[in-house]
Every structure is written in structure tokens, then in C-alpha cells.
Structure 1
Amino acid sequence: MTPERLRAFCLDFDAATEEFPFGPEVSVFKVRGKMFALSWLDAKPLRVNLKCDPDDAVRLREEYPAVAPGYHMNKRHWNTVTVGELPERMVRELIEDSYDLVVAGLPRAERLKLDRP
């Protein structure tokens, strides 16, 4: 997955936005003001921080060397994924899981505004 494809995939979710609160080199992808992905899109290798269920986070770290505790994030709830070292389909699923976790934590009124089940 290229940085361009990562950005496009993140922005394809309903109400997803890209912001730069940490400077122009760090893309932060949000839904209704809550972050679901963070990436230095120009970095080599390409990495992305993603929210994750705590039990799944530990399992993924044990199973895949490309998944590490979230860099500069709450290590219980966030993983850093080295994108090129995992199949693209898996990276997409992890991004979607992150988005879904964030949406699930939104107030009901905000969730109802989204085009998601």
C-alpha cells in the first residue's frame, strides 16, 4: 500500500477528515473530531497508528513483527503498523476496525449522522 492509497482509503470512510495538528508532515485522520489513524505519510517505511481492541492489540503484536505498541500513543489501545510488511487486505481491515472502534465510542446522536450500521 502506498501513502496515497493509505490516505485515500482513510478518507473514504463516512465523515472522515484529514487534519495536521502536529505539523504538516503528520496526517491525522478523524471521524467527527476523533482520531482513528495517524501517519507520517512521507516516512520510510510507511507506518500508521491505529486504534485497536486491547486484547486484539496484544494478539496482533505477538503474531506479527510488523505490529508494535502505538508510538507516542496509549499502548493499551493503539498499535503502530508497518504497512509494507503486512498484506494490504489486512492493513485495510485494521484501518476499518480502528474507524469502527472510534465510531462506537461516539455519542449516539453523532453515530446516527453517519452512514454506517
Structure 2
Amino acid sequence: MNGPTLQKTAVDCADELPGAQLEHPFGPDWEVFKVRGKVFMLMTEVPGRPVVILKADPGEARALREQNRHITPGYHMNKKHWITLEGGEGVHKELVSELVTDSYLLVVARLPKAVQPVDPQTYGSGKPR
């Protein structure tokens, strides 16, 4: 998957997530996706390469970085809790969608229950909230 396709896939996934909103708090070069005011995805270009930056469980983030050279520590973010995806071999639509959804659910799980747009334990499983 190339960089522009990577970002389009990530945006398409984010657009389907309840309560997700796109903002540009850092200017036009950064697309920032939030849920209830909390960031779960950022997109920009790092020296001409389109990237997607996502929150990830620290253990999973480490494993992803070890398994795929196109997944690196979060650009300008906490390296333990964020990853950066670049387009390339092994980065496919299903992986991007899964990582975007996982990032969203990690953020939703930390919100007060009263403002969670979905139940992070059951979202996507077919179980009602």
C-alpha cells in the first residue's frame, strides 16, 4: 500500500467510528482525529512521506515495530504509546483499519463512561452497548 492510499484507508475507517471528528489544531499540514476531544489519530507528511500516527498498547506497539519495518515509534509522540505507519510491504487495508479502530478504542476506554460513544469492550463484536 502506498502512502496516499494508506491515509485514505485510515480516514475512511475513522469516518465510520462513532463520535470521531477531524480537526486541524496544528495547521493545514496535520489532520488530527479526535473522539470527545481526545486524539486517536494524526496524519501528516514526514519529509515527503505520508504517515498515520496512532495510539497503541505498548506491548502490541513493540511487537508491531519488530514485525514490520513500516511501523515505527510515534512521530512527535510518546514512543511507548504511539506508532507511526508508512505505506509499504506488509501494510494492507485490513491492518490499517484494525490499528485505527484499536487506537480509537484505547482512547474511548479512558473516557468517562457517560461520554463514551461506544462500549470499548463490545464495539465491533456485534454485542449491544
TM-score (norm 1): 0.88
| Paired letter, 1:37 | M
Query: 1:38 and 2:64 equivalent?
Result: no
In 1, Cα distance between equivalents of 2:78 and 2:84? 11
1:47-58 alignment to 2 at 5 Å? 47-58=51-62
| Contact 1:28-1:38 at 8 Å conserved across structures | yes
Match of 2:126 in 1: none
Post-superposition offset of 1:12:
1.6
Query: 1:101 and 2:106 equivalent?
Result: yes
Post-superposition offset of 1:87:
1.1
Q: What's the % identity of the aligned pairs?
A: 45
Distance change (3 Å), C-alpha of 1:14 and 1:23: same
1:80-99 alignment to 2 at 5 Å? 80-85=84-89, 86-99=91-104
TM-superposition CA deviations, 1:41-77 (whole Å, max 9, x none): 7x74321000000000111111110110000000010
- Give ranges in structure 2 of 5+ residues lacking alignment: 123-129
- Give ranges in structure 1 of 5+ residues lacking alignment: none
Distance change (3 Å), C-alpha of 1:4 and 1:63: closer
Structure 1 stretch 50-59 or stretch 5-14: which is displaced more?
Answer: 5-14
In 1, Cα distance between equivalents of 2:63 and 2:73? 11
TM-score (norm 2): 0.80
Higher RCO by CA contacts (8 Å cutoff, separation 6 or greater) = 2
Distance change (3 Å), C-alpha of 1:100 and 1:83: farther
Match of 1:62 in 2: 66
Post-superposition offset of 1:4:
3.5
Q: Which has the higher helix share?
A: 1
Query: 1:25 and 2:39 equivalent?
Result: no
| Contact 1:25-1:40 at 8 Å conserved across structures | yes
SS in 1 for 2:49: coil
Cα RMSD, aligned residues only:
1.9
In 2, Cα distance between equivalents of 1:48 and 1:36? 11
